[in-house]
Amino acid sequence: MDLDPRRLRILRAVALRGGVTDAARLLNLTASAVSQQLMQLEIEAEVSLINRNQRRVTLTAAGEMLALRAERIEQELAEARRELTALSNRVSGSVGFMGFETAIRFLVVPILPLLAKTHPDLHVHIMEETDPARVIRELRTGGADLVITEREIHSPEPSYGDLVVHPLLEDEYRVIVPGSWAPVPTSIRDLEDAPWIVGPLEISSGQAFKYLREKMSFTPDCVHVIVEFTTMISLVAAGQGVALVPRLALVGAEAQDIAVTPIAVNLSRRFCLVYRQPRFGPEPKITTVIAAIDEMARTRGFAPVRNPG
């Protein structure tokens, strides 16, 4: 029997994504095309690979075995790409990057023209996502190759299992107020009766504000709940309240009518880059993008994380 390795890749995608439709989305194919390729693979293998009598697509024992072999083939191809890069000294390939707005805007977008000059055959494709669980799922199931995560420093460190974690930076929070306020507040106590613009609890900025509120034992008047820091800063500049924002989000905000207070809140969020690693080690395209992001973080004035715990 002859097995087409391209069809094995499709079977692997179905196994990773848990269904034909999601696998088709990952592979930029139609669901019909994926189903046809799977049927052809079954003809080649002379055995059923998909359980079709269930609502959710699952693999037969033979299908699981072939999907595992397909994963090993992908590992070998990754090693072949590494060896070719070593011989040619030319990094190439596609890197699917997933992360949140401030990281993409200030750390990833600026490296794209630099990479285009130094590594013209390397292409970074960006997908914005705020849900941490979805980011990791996409990484595990092939929807992304490299992701950036964030967590409020006082929250527990998540477990990523067999994924590789590269600590990137710690981004300290600042309290900002409208630029028209004078004098600029010097204590959180000065802001107990102020209107606050906060992040939702399910993201790190919301967790940081929750920690500050509990530590300082005050009940703020939360007038706006905002996900993106650009919108939050704009509301502060419009005199609509005060906010707790990270230092990175303030890059380029000097022209807006805000004032950064000297209030020390001792809060920060930690950024990490997370990726899958073949058994032979990380692919050159991944390490190249990581190195560029590391350098951009240093350019922004962020020191490397010394204690990743």
- For the segment 152-210, what is each residue's pLDDT rounded down to a tens digit? 888 888 888 889 999 999 999 999 999 999 899 999 989 989 999 999 988 888 989 99
Whether 57 has a pLDDT exceeding 70, the answer reads yes
How many CB atoms sit inside 10 A of residue 93's CB? 17
Cα separation, 45 vs 52, in Å, equals 17
Closest CA to 66 of 43, 36, 41, 35: 41
Q: Which amino acid is at 118?
A: T
Cα separation, 203 vs 133, in Å, equals 11
The topology (CATH level 3) of 5-85 is: Arc Repressor Mutant, subunit A (1.10.10)
Q: Tell me what pLDDT residue 293 has.
A: 97
Backbone angles phi, psi at 307, to 5 degrees: -120, 95
Banded model confidence at residue 75, pLDDT cuts 50, 70, 90: confident
Q: What is the pLDDT of residues 92-107, one digit of tens each?
A: 889 999 999 999 999 9
Contact indicator for 280, 75 with CB cutoff of 8 Å: yes
Banded model confidence at residue 298, pLDDT cuts 50, 70, 90: very high
Q: Tell me what pLDDT residue 183 has.
A: 92
Contact indicator for 204, 152 with CB cutoff of 8 Å: yes
The topology (CATH level 3) of 94-168+271-299 is: D-Maltodextrin-Binding Protein; domain 2 (3.40.190)
Backbone angles phi, psi at 125, to 5 degrees: -110, 125
Banded model confidence at residue 1, pLDDT cuts 50, 70, 90: low
| Residues above pLDDT 70, as percent of the chain | 97
CATH code given to domain 170-268: 3.40.190.290
Contact indicator for 209, 191 with CB cutoff of 8 Å: no
Is 150 in a helix, a strand, or coil? strand
Q: What average pLDDT does this structure show over 15-44?
A: 84
Cα separation, 179 vs 242, in Å, equals 10
**H or E segment and range at residue 208:** helix 204-216
pTM for the structure as a whole: 0.81
Cα separation, 139 vs 276, in Å, equals 7
Is 302 in a helix, a strand, or coil? coil
Q: How far is CA 64 from CA 48, 53, 69, 75, 89, in A?
A: 11, 17, 9, 17, 37
Domain with CATH 1.10.10.10 in the chain: 5-85
Q: Give burial (CB, 10 Å; 0-12/13-18/19+) of 248.
A: buried
How many CB atoms sit inside 10 A of residue 305's CB? 16
Backbone angles phi, psi at 60, to 5 degrees: -75, 175
Domain with CATH 3.40.190.290 in the chain: 170-268
